Structure 1
Amino acid sequence: MDGNSNGEKIRRKSIDARDRSRFMQELKLAKEKLGMDPGVPALCCYEAGRDGFWICRWLKQVGLECLVIDPASIEVNRRKRRAKTDRLDAEAMVRLLGRYAGGDTKIWAVVRVPSEKQEDELRLHREMERLKKERTGHLNRIKALFILHGVKLSGTLTKLSKTLDGLQCWNKKPLAEELKEEVRRELERLRLVGEQIKLLEKNKAEALKNPRTNAEHQAQDLMRLHGVGEVSAWVLSKEFFGWREFKNRREVAALAGLTPTPYNSGGSSVEQGISKAGNRRIRRVMIELAWSWLRFQPDSALTNWFVDRYAKGGKRARRIGIVAVARKLLVALWKYVEFGEVPEGAIVR
């Protein structure tokens, strides 16, 4: 905990994580030491991370103003080697907070804090993402164990537990007992992960069939467009459109990390590609959705734009073009769910 009143004198105190009573005591003492009235409002900030947003919610509950800061947006010394300690970082944040309070709001990026309900709506598809990665890991591990002993598997792994005892190594010898036991354990983990994925898919299907939240209604609307599937609609609505507020199309593209990053300095002018500074899930979904849009919406204005400009180019040109399509399509979908404006030439179910 660091604090100051005049931008010069900083008072530092170390507090154990989640020790809320100690924090309030130190805040009271800090105001006394710095000669501040007890009723003077305090402005707090911390870096977004694994602690999430509960700290911000608690601070606001006790009457304090709190900012959650994107760590990547904090300015740092560009020297190749620079001193970095928790003390130096905390002091730097206090100085930047003073500048922010003074009106310099562009010194860093402030994260928008969702409500507890909005944050809870992010759980299903994020858990699904982790489970699918876990399933892939189990599949790869089982296959690797057999490759290690020269065993060639045919077909799927659904009946492997029944045929495991009959498999042989490269030299026609039966599989070792410990190897078979490890494979059985991996198969059991794979089965459990598969059951959990099916349960989540069932819950998602029920939510889309009988929507209750604004995000689920938006997902239904998105699925009316040809080429927008269940997964894309769910992620876009829950992760992006359902609770975030956008003032213009630039904010939409920037939050997805799909904006260009030019480098123009002196005589050099280089395009560095997209910023990738936004939501990686939305960025991945939009690249996939852009290809799907070209296939299922062949007469749309966006598809015609891509064909006229990039279709005759090489593979690299098409990759560049599809990112541009993803950016334009995301803005078009935002206008669709926000204002009911159907993308030009799009087929609607």
Structure 2
Amino acid sequence: MNDQKRFIGIDMSKRSFEVAVVNNADPQILRKKYKATHEDRQEFISSLRKDDIVALETGNSSFVLAKLIQKQVGCTVYVLNAGKLHIIFRSLKKTDKEDALRIAKFVQRIPEEELPAVTIPSDEEMAMRSSATEQIRVDRSRTQSINALHSLLWNNGITEYGRNDLKHKKNRDKVIANLPEAYRAQGIRLLKLIDVYEQCLGEIGEEQKEVLIKNRDETTISISMPGIGPKTAFVLLAYLGNMERFSCSAQVGHFSGFTPRIDMSGQQEHYGPITKRGPKQLRRVMNQAAWAAIRSKDGIILRGFYDRVRSTKGKKKAIVAVARKMLEILWVLHTRKELYQSPVVADHSRIIAKLKRYGLIFE
């Protein structure tokens, strides 16, 4: 190993980042704090050398800085799994300065092949993940507004419309006329809000559909799985891509945070709740897809798996197990470039019909 090689640890926060520099030849530790501004980032990047090794914890701001360093300097950059670093850096003294130093010493000491590094997403993948997050945020705001409208109607004795009824515009427009004059303006404002959210969701859906059509091979494979529609297929594409970076199906479960915590001591082995490490957007849509899959005609096998787990673990753990099982099956399908084979229909007519229904059929 080159004694002059520098190992640089960075601890990111919203408004600043701490930098610690160590090397084998000089025991002196260099430290500096930068603001999270364009000027300070450029000042830090200009101080780097091509043979430096830089390491950061995972996070959106870390990915942005890592890509800038790779593009402008070309040195080695590792973005490290924050969940694994939390165990490594367990300490009574935890500050940004100390964390930056621990990261620097960690990459100095640990061989490259043993570092808990994660893949740095491309600009396209980051944009897709941002779109998935935006869709969830807008959808949640729409749901909150619908609930507020339902509460307003209920408080005024209008109980014949449920929340699901108010998801349809024609029903919403109809009930406003039944509101007392004193509350009608409030109801109209809620209607306008819901209409805006639905317009935004429509625009987001069209943008995502264009991305799905552009990546038609991955989209078709994901859509072939029971319970998976365009929204879930898009999130899968954003966070997992074509799944080539995973060496086995178990890695997909670990990445998504669907694997249980394990506590082993002596002869005792205890499995706790899932780790929930990794993208929560992926877990959210896969849990929804799991419920849809076990209710579909093509999901007979998944339904049988769900029933077996539910009999001993309960329905909540069972549906999480189905979501993880679906991800593992998807890894097999993507790596083999195969479509999901329905146990009900021998050919792929159902998949073709599904693609047509969602406007994703490819000529």
Same fold at TM > 0.5:
yes
335, 340, 344: which is aligned to 1:338?
A: 335
Distance 1:113 1:244, change over 3 A: farther
Residue equivalent to 1:212 = 214
| Residue-by-residue CA offset, 1:67-87 (whole Å, 9 max, x unaligned) | 2223232136657xx333222
| Residue-by-residue CA offset, 1:305-345 (whole Å, 9 max, x unaligned) | 555x446x26x444444433332332222111221345576
Return the alpha-carbon distance in structure 1 between the equivalents of residues 109 and 271 of structure 2: 32
63, 66, 69: which is aligned to 1:56?
A: 66
Return the alpha-carbon distance in structure 1 between the equivalents of residues 173 and 289 of structure 2: 38
Superposed CA RMSD in Å reads 3.3
Q: 1:99-114, aligned counterparts within 5 Å? A: 99-100=109-110, 102-103=111-112, 105-106=114-115, 109-114=116-121
Mapped contact 1:222–1:228 kept (Cα < 8 A): yes
Q: TM-score, normalising length from structure 2?
A: 0.73
Distance 1:153 1:255, change over 3 A: same
3, 11, 20: which is aligned to 2:41?
A: 20
Residue equivalent to 1:119 = 126
Residue equivalent to 2:139 = 132
Which one has a larger percent strand, Structure 1 or Structure 2?
A: 2
Return the alpha-carbon distance in structure 2 between the equivalents of residues 221 and 291 of structure 1: 19
SS of match in other structure, 1:136 = helix
Q: TM-score, normalising length from structure 1?
A: 0.75
Structure 1 counterpart of 2:214, which letter?
A: R
Q: Which protein has the larger Cα radius of gyration, Structure 1 or Structure 2?
A: 1
Return the alpha-carbon distance in structure 2 between the equivalents of residues 319 and 334 of structure 1: 23
Residue equivalent to 1:287 = 287
Mapped contact 2:252–2:328 kept (Cα < 8 A): yes
Residue equivalent to 1:277 = 277
Return the alpha-carbon distance in structure 2 between the equivalents of residues 318 and 181 of structure 1: 43
Mapped contact 1:297–1:303 kept (Cα < 8 A): no
Q: 1:189-200, aligned counterparts within 5 Å? A: 189-200=193-204
**1:135 Cα deviation (Å)?**
0.6
Identical counterparts, % of pairs: 22
Structure 1 counterpart of 2:202, which letter?
A: K
- 188-197 or 42-51, which moves further after superposition? 42-51
**1:138 Cα deviation (Å)?**
1.9
Distance 1:186 1:98, change over 3 A: same
Return the alpha-carbon distance in structure 1 between the equivalents of residues 309 and 179 of structure 2: 52
Distance 1:23 1:319, change over 3 A: closer
Distance 1:299 1:47, change over 3 A: closer
SS of match in other structure, 1:2 = strand
Return the alpha-carbon distance in structure 1 between the equivalents of residues 325 and 53 of structure 2: 38
Q: Which runs of 5+ in 2 are unaligned?
A: 1-18, 350-363
Q: How many residues align?
A: 316
Structure 2 counterpart of 1:340, which letter?
A: K
Residue equivalent to 1:167 = 179
Distance 1:181 1:89, change over 3 A: farther
SS of match in other structure, 1:167 = coil
Distance 1:206 1:153, change over 3 A: farther
- Work out which structure has the larger RCO, using CA pairs closer than 8 Å and 6 or more positions apart in sequence: 2
